[in-house]
Amino acid sequence: MAQGSLEASSRTTFTGVVGAYVALMKPRIIELLLLTTVPVMFLAAQGVPPLWLVIATVVGGTLSAGSANALNCVFDADIDTKMRRTARRPLPRHQVSTSAALVFGLVLGVVSTLWLGVLVNWLSAGLALAANVFYVVGYTMILKRRTTQNIVWGGAAGCFPALIGWTAVTGELAWAPVVLFVVVFFWTPPHFWALAMRYRDDYAAAGVPMLPSVASSREVAQKIVTYSWIMVLTSIALWPVAVTGWFYPGVAIVLGIVFLVEAYDLRTRSHDSEELSVIKPMRLFHLSNAYLALLFVAAAADPFLR
């Protein structure tokens, strides 16, 4: 019995350690990044790209994003302990040491760069590395604690998957992935500010000047409407740039209208009250995830529907 208990305990400990390292990579964020990588590969190929190339790009992108997220956890450990949303991450719970997390993040960064360079191409590898460095240094270490524009400019790191997916297939950049890069760039503030409105007290307690923690809900909602308009108009611009058929612009227009309606509703609710139960910012947050997913899937499907 004692030996069986010891073996079960060892398995539990091993599973816990593996789970902690996986958590450092923030899998849910990686899922969103891959959602803007794979569809662009279909658009670039104007059909189905080679399966091995998709797998190689997905694996490399996962490792690269995991590296950036793990390093973000290292440098934000002091903030994470003060916020309810992040207090259960591995470092605040002391499931992984800071030094181990740092080494893990750096190793993932090196492996992902070599993986993409050797199996995909060095342009994609360079873009992934640039996104990693920009997220860790530009956003986490410089912008996040200093300016309310942190997520506006820092969010650019999350736009790189569109470029990586395209270059993985074509080996070169073009205007189509740049347009999608810009779409994600203007999508990020409404998406994240809606989440930050829900957790504005956390950011205030941690001393992070995320816009919803230092500005009124009315001001934040107005900015969300402004960025939403630019995002929707930019999404339609892919139509002439990528020479798509009618399917993509049709979907983009419908999705854009739905998104704008919710953005305006959020602004109206923010004018009426500062109470989160009235504002309901998570409605826009969840809608923004669906919007981006469906928009990129429409771009991937368009070549098959012409």
pLDDT in tens, 144-190: 999 999 999 999 999 999 999 999 999 999 999 999 999 999 999 99
Mean pLDDT of the chain: 93
Query: Which of 153, 156, 150, 168 is CA-nearest to residue 131?
Result: 156
Residues present in the chain in total = 306
> Please, which residues have CB within 8 angstroms of residue 174's CB and are 6 or more apart in sequence?
166
CA Rg value for the chain = 20
pLDDT at 21 exceeding the cut of 60: yes
258-265's contacts with Cβ under 8 Å and 24+ in sequence apart are: 258/287, 258/291, 259/228, 259/231, 259/232, 259/287, 259/288, 259/291, 260/225, 260/228, 260/229, 260/232, 262/287, 263/190, 263/221, 263/224, 263/225, 263/228, 264/225
pLDDT band at 1 (very low <50, low <70, confident <90, very high): very low
Residues 294-305: what's their mean pLDDT?
Answer: 95
What local confidence, expressed as pLDDT, does residue 13 receive?
81
Q: For residues 53 and 41, what is the distance between their CA atoms, to the nearest angstrom?
A: 9
What local confidence, expressed as pLDDT, does residue 79 receive?
93
64 and 132 Cβ atoms separated by less than 8 Å: yes
Write out the two tokens for 183.
């779409």
296 and 165 Cβ atoms separated by less than 8 Å: no
Residues 139-144: what's their mean pLDDT?
Answer: 96
pLDDT in tens, 3-19: 444 344 444 587 888 99
Distances (CA, A) of 215 to 2, 204, 218, 219: 58, 11, 8, 6
Domains in the chain, CATH or no CATH each: 12-172 (1.10.357.140), 174-306 (1.20.120)
Q: For residues 297 and 294, what is the distance between their CA atoms, to the nearest angstrom?
A: 5
pLDDT in tens, 219-235: 999 999 999 999 999 99
Burial 241-256 (b: 16+ CB within 10 A, else e): ebebeebbbebbeebb
Q: How many CB atoms lie within 10 A of CB 13?
A: 10
pLDDT in tens, 25-61: 999 888 888 899 999 999 999 999 999 999 999 999 9
> Please, which residues have CB within 8 angstroms of residue 59's CB and are 6 or more apart in sequence?
115
